[in-house]
Chain A
C-alpha cells in the first residue's frame, strides 16, 4: 500500500439555485477515489457554501493512483426525493506523483456538468504521500515525467534519448453498451468521461513502465489519441520518445541545454572511436555507408528507431532524407477482448514497419518528427503515420558522451540538407547540386520534412504557411467495397496534394517545407485532403525554378494568348512573393550534377497504401516523363491547379503565418500572445458536385477561415500566427443523430443530402510584436534582421517606455497584472478563505473583488517568448463531453460550441492554476467531435485537450533573449554572400 491520497473540500461559490422555493441550495460533496467514497456535511441554504471538511484519506496502490482520477461530485441535498447532482470535477493526480512536479493541488475548480456546463466553482486541496516501493515487478511507474512538448523541455537537458515508446488500450465504448438504452444521457456521458480518464491513466502508466524498463525517466513528445470507433469500441493510444532528463540548475543559460549531446542508444557496439573520426559534411560515399550500417545496427536493437520530437539539440540531425508516410485502410470490427488489443497493435506494427522500410530506402536509419493519426467513417478506418527520415549523428550515439561533443565543432548550418543516400543509387530520381552553403556536399533541390526548422539552419528571407487542399468524391458503399474504393483513391490524393504543395512552393520561390502535416479524412461520399506546412528558402538548397505553362494544342492563337497571360500572371506572382517574403538569394551558377534522370520531378515523399489484405503498393510520386513545372493547360487538373495557385489570397500586410513553432525569418518576438480556437461547419447543399466544384468550395472555406482570422486579429498587427493547426473532418450522416437510444437510428429526412465539412483550425497562435520597426514597413525592415533582433530585445528589457500606442499600453498593463498574480497564486487559497468568511450575510459584506484569478496563458508552442520556463508541473490531459437538449435556447450550434470551448479553456486554466502554474505550453486540442440533431434540438460535443502545465518567469531583466536561434539564423544573408 504505497500511497496515501488526501483531499479536503474547502468551499464552493457561485453555485446554481437548486431549490426554486428558496432560491438557494443545500449543497454537499462526495469525494470518490477508486471504490472509496467520502461525503461532506450538507451546508444548508447557501450558494457559497463553506464546508471546510476534514482531510479525506484514501490509502491506495500507486497503480491506482496513476490510473484513477479523483472524482468530486457536488450534490444538492433533498429530503424527500433523490439528491440532485450539480456537477463534477475530475482531478488527475498524476502531477503529484513525480517528486519534481507539483506538490499540492489547491484552487478553485469549475464544477462541470455534461448537460449544463459549468455550474459554480469548488475549492479543493489535494495532497499525496508516497512511500517508496522497491518492488521490481511493480505495475506502476510513478515518477516518470510526461511532456507533450516535442523538444527537450526548456529546463531540462537530455542525458539519454532512449527512443520510441508506444502503447494502446482498448475498451467498449459506454455509449454503445446495452445499458445505455436505459440510463440518462448524463450518466452515459459521465461513464464515458470516466472511462477515458481511466484508460489514459492506464496508458500513461504502461508507457511509464516501458520507459523505466529502458532506463529512462521521462517521455517527451507524448502524443495521446482517441479513436472513437463507435460500435466496435474505443481505442486510446499513445506514442512518445523515452528520455533520461536531468534537471538544469536554475541559472544555467539556455544555450547550454541546447548543446547537450543526445545518445540514441544504449547499445555500445562499435560506435566508440568512429564518432570522433568523422567530421560531418566531409565523409565520402563508402565511409558514409559504413557509418550508416553502424548507426543502423545500433538502432536496430530497438524495434522502431522513431522519435516523436520535432526539435533537436544542434548537431543531432546529420542529414534529412525526406518525408516518409504510410497509410492503411482497415475495416473495423468489434473488439472482442479488451485485454488483448492485438488486432490494433498489429495494425500499427505493420504501418511502423512500412515507415521503417521507407526510411531505409532513403538511406536513413531513423525517423524523426514521427506522428500517427486515424480517421474513421463508419466501419472504415484509415491509419496514417508520417515522419521524416533522417540520419542521426553517430557521435551522439555513445553512451555518456554528454557535453563532450556539440561545442567543439562549429555547428554546420547546411549539413542537415545534404543527402543521406548514395547519389549513384538513389531511391528515387532527384536532381542534385552541390550545397550552396558549403559547396562540398550534394543537396536535393527541394526538401520536405515534418520537423521544425532546425535552429542552426541558414534561411533566406521569411517563411510562410503553405496549404494544399483537395476534395475527391467517392461512391457511397459499404464494408469491403468501400475500403477498396478508398484505398484506390488515396494514392491519387497524395499525389495531387504533393503536386499542389510543390507548385505553391515554387510560386513563393521557396525550396523547403517544414512541419508538413497531411490529413486525409473520409466522409460517406467524399474524401478530403489537407496538407499544411511552412515553406522557407534554405540558403543551402538551389533556387527553385519558375513555373511554366504549356498547352498541348498550340495551333490556336487566342489559346496561346490565354496561356501567355496566365504565364505572365504566374511570373508576376513569383516576383511579388519574392519581394513579400524578402527572398533575395545570392546569384549562383547553376550546376546540375550526378542525377541519373535529371529532368524528372524529384519527390521526397515516399508513401504507400496498403489495404486490409496486406497488399503493399508503392508509388513513385515523380511526374512520369514530364517536367514537374510544366503545367499542361489542356489537362483539367492543371487548370484547376493554376486556379488554386492564383486564388490563394495574399496575407494582409503585417501578418505572418506558419505552422511550425518559430516563424523562420522573424526573431523579434514579444510576450503578448493569444491562443485561439476556431471551428466552422459547412453544409453542402447540392448533391452532385464534381471534384472541381468541391475543390473550389473547400479551398474557399480554408481561405475564408484565414481571412476571418486576419480580420479578427487586425488590432494586433504586426502579428504572426504560429503553429496554425488545421483539422478537417467530414462528419457522417449518422452522427448527425445525437443520442442513439432514441427510437430510430437514422431519420430519413435528415439524411438526404446534407454533408458537413468541419474545418477546424485549432490551437492557433498569434503573437504580437510591437516594440519594433516591423510595423508598417514590413518589406524593408527585414534587410538587416540582425540589428533588429538585438534592438527589439533590448527594448523589451526595459519595456515600460517604448509604448507608443494605446494598444501597447494596454498590453503592458496586462503584463504587470499578470506578473502580480503569479506571486499571489499560492496565496489564493488562504485569501479566498478569509475573504469568504468575513463576508457575512448582507449589509456588512464589503465584497472585495475576491482573490484575483490567476492569469493562465495557453500556447501551442513549447515556449513562451520573452520568458523562461522554470518548472514543469505535469501533463494536462483532459477529456470532456457536453450535451444539450435545448440547442436553440443555448444559441444554436454556434452558441453551444462557443460556450463549451470557453468552458474547456476555463477548466484547463483552473487545473493549471491549482497546480501552481501560470501557463500551458504545447497545448493542443486533439479531438473535437461535434454532432447535432437540430430537429430534436440536441447536440453533443467531445473535446480532448492536452498540454504541459508550467511556471514561467519573465525575462525582462535578463540578458538578450532569442538565444541560439537568433545567432544561428540572422546573419544568413551576409554569410551567404561571402561563401
Chain B
C-alpha cells in the first residue's frame, strides 16, 4: 500500500512559519521532516513521522505555488488564488526577500549575470548556504535590480513600493542594487573583514550624497549611478596636494587643532601628507569607471591600513577626519568648498564605519 496522492487545502491558507523558513533555506522535504522531528513538533500529538511528512509536503506545495506570486509581491495582495490574511502576506514577502549575510557578501558588487549564477555552487559550498537558497537569493537580487534599474525616483522608495518590503530590507536591497550596478570590488582579501552591513551603510551614504537623485528627487535620472558632474568636479580637489603651499598650510592647520588631543599625534603629523594624498587621489580618479570599482579597496589600502598600523583608535580617526575636513575651509586659496564637503562627508562616515577589525 502506498500513498499516491495526499493533499490538504484550506480556504484561508494556513502556513507554518517554521516550515516556511526550512523551505526558504532550501531543505528537502525529508531533511525538513528530520529537523521538525528534532524540534519536537510531534510532542503532545499522537502523530507519526508519516503525518509530519504529509504536512510538510502540503506546506511545501503551497509555498511553491505562492512563489510565482512572491516574485511580484504587489500581485500577492490582489491575486485570488490564495486567501491569505494581510499580515501573513507581509510575513511571506519579508521572509522570501530576506537573505543570508554570508551569501550576499560573496556576490556583492558582482555582475548579476548568468555567469555569476553558474558559480553559485561554489558560493554554496563556501558559505554553507544550500544551493537552492543561494539561487533564490540571487534571483531576488536580480529581480529587484531589473525592476528598479529603469525606474525614476528614489531607489529605496521604488524598491519598497514594488516589492512591499520593510524599510530596512528595502535599504539593504538598494545597497545590493547600487553595488551591482557600479560593480564595486568587495571580494579582495583586504576587504574580507568588512561585513555586508558596513557596505550597506556606505552604499546608503553614496546613494544619498553622490548620486543625481541625491540633490533633486524630481530629476529624470535614477539614483543608481553616481553623478557625472560631481565626479568631474572632484578633479579640482587635486590642488590640495599638488599645490605645495596649500598642502603645508592644510597640514599645519590640522596639526594645530590636533595637538595634545590624541596619543597618535606624532604618527598623524608624520603621515599627514601621505594620507591626504591618498584621499584626494581617490577623489580625482573617480571619473574613471574602473577606478570607481576600486573605491573601497583604495580606501582601505590608502587610508585605513596605514592608520591601523599606527594604532589609531576610532576616536582618533573621528578627530582627525573632522579636523582634516574642516581645516580645508580656512584655506584662502581653496575654492571648492561645496564639492569638498560633499566628498568628505561621505568619505568620513564610510571610513568611520569601515575602521574596525
Residues of chain A at the chain B interface (Cβ within 8 Å): 13-14, 108, 110, 118, 121, 649-650, 652, 674-685, 697, 704, 707-712, 714-715, 756, 810, 813-814, 817, 842-843, 846-847, 849-853, 855-858, 891, 893-895, 897-899, 901-903, 905-907, 909-910, 930
Query: Once the chains are docked, how many angstroms separate the CA of A891 from the CA of B54?
Result: 14
In angstroms, Cα B58 to Cα A675, docked, is: 16
In the complex with contacts A710-B47, A711-B47, A855-B77 CB distance below 8 A: no
B9 touches A909 (CB 8 A): no
B18-49 contact mask (Cβ, 8 Å, vs A): 1 or 0? 00000000000000000000000000111110
What is the minimal beta-carbon distance from A842 to any residue of chain B, in angstroms?
Answer: 6
Tell me, yes or no, whether B12 is within 8 Å of chain A by CB: yes
CB–CB B77/A121 < 8 A: no
Given contacts A118-B80, A817-B86, contact A678 B61 (CB under 8 A): no
CA distance A682 to B153 in the complex (A): 56
**Chain A residue at smallest Cβ distance from B8:** A678
Q: Which residue in A682, A858, A891 is a CB contact (below 8 Å) of B1?
A: A682
Quick one: given A680-B5, A685-B1, A850-B74, are A711 and B87 in contact (CB under 8 Å)?
Answer: no
Q: Which residue of the partner chain, among A14, A708, A810, A901, contacts B75 with CB atoms under 8 Å?
A: A14
A893 contacts which chain B residues (CB < 8 A)? 4-5
Interface string of B133-165 (1 = CB under 8 A from A): 000000000000000001111000000011010
Candidate in A712, A814, A899, A910 with the most chain B CB atoms within 10 angstroms: A712
Give the B interface residue count (CB, 8 A): 49
Q: Is the CB of B51 within 8 A of A704?
A: yes
Instruction: Report how far A647 CA is from B46 CA in the complex, Å.
Output: 13
Q: A849-B164, A905-B83 are in contact. List 7 more A-B contacts (CB 8 A).
A: A652-B45, A684-B1, A847-B161, A855-B12, A858-B11, A902-B82, A906-B83
Residue B64 contacts which of A817, A891, A906 (CB distance < 8 angstroms)? A891
Q: B81 near A906 (CB under 8 angstroms)? A: yes
* Interface presence of B332 (CB below 8 A): no
Q: Does the CB pair B81–A110 fall under 8 Å? A: yes
Knowing A853-B78, A856-B83, the reply to whether A675 touches B11 (Cβ < 8 A) is yes
> For A675, what are the chain B residues with a Cβ–Cβ distance below 8 Å?
10-11
* Chain B at the A interface: SS class: mixed
Q: How far is the CA of A652 from the CA of B41 in the complex (A)?
A: 14
Cβ of B14 within 8 Å of any chain A Cβ, yes or no, is yes
Q: Are B58 and A898 in touch, CB under 8 angstroms?
A: yes
Question: In the assembled complex, which residues on chain B have CB atoms less than 8 Å from the CB atom of A817?
Answer: 85-86
Residue numbers in A under 8 Å from B54 (CB-CB): 708
Nearest to B151 among chain A residues (CB) is A843
- Judged by a CB distance under 8 angstroms, whether B52 is at the interface is yes
CA distance A853 to B164 in the complex (A): 17
Ranked 10 nearest A-B pairs via Cβ? A850-B78, A681-B5, A849-B77, A681-B4, A676-B10, A711-B47, A901-B9, A678-B8, A898-B7, A675-B11
- Is B338 located at the chain interface by the 8 A CB criterion? no
Contact B78 A849 (CB under 8 A): yes
Contact of A707 among B6, B46, B58, B164 (CB under 8 A): B46
A857 CA / B10 CA spacing, docked (Å):
11
Instruction: Tell me which residues across on chain A come within 8 A of B64, comparing CB atoms.
Output: 891, 895
Q: Which residues of the other chain, B, contact A843 by a CB distance below 8 angstroms? A: 151-153
Q: Given A711-B51, A853-B80, A895-B61, are A676 and B11 also a contact pair (CB < 8 Å)? A: yes
Q: A854 to chain B: closest CB distance in Å?
A: 10
Q: How far is the CB of B279 from chain A (nearest CB, A)?
A: 37
Bound-complex Cα distance A858 to B150 (A)? 43
Q: How far is the CA of A528 from the CA of B286 in the complex (A)?
A: 80
* Known contacts A652-B46, A683-B2, A697-B1; A894 and B61 CB within 8 A of each other: yes
CA distance A615 to B81 in the complex (A): 51
CB-based contact B83/A855 at 8 Å: yes
Subset of 13 A-B contacts with CB under 8 Å: A676-B8, A707-B48, A711-B55, A810-B87, A842-B150, A842-B151, A843-B152, A847-B162, A850-B77, A853-B78, A855-B85, A905-B83, A910-B80
A680 touches B3 (CB 8 A): yes
| Residues of B contacting A907 in the complex (Cβ-Cβ under 8 angstroms) | 80
B45–A121 contact, CB under 8 A? no
Indicate whether B229 reaches chain A with its CB closer than 8 angstroms: no
Q: Contact check, B46 vs A681: say whether CB atoms are below 8 A apart.
A: no
A851's closest neighbor in chain B, by CB? B78
Cβ–Cβ contact B47 & A756, under 8 A? no
Question: Which residue of B is nearest A835, CB measured?
Answer: B78
Which chain B residues lie closer than 8 Å to A857 at the CB level?
11-12
Chain A residues with CB under 8 Å of B8's CB are: 676-678, 708-709, 712
A822 smallest CB distance to B (angstroms): 14
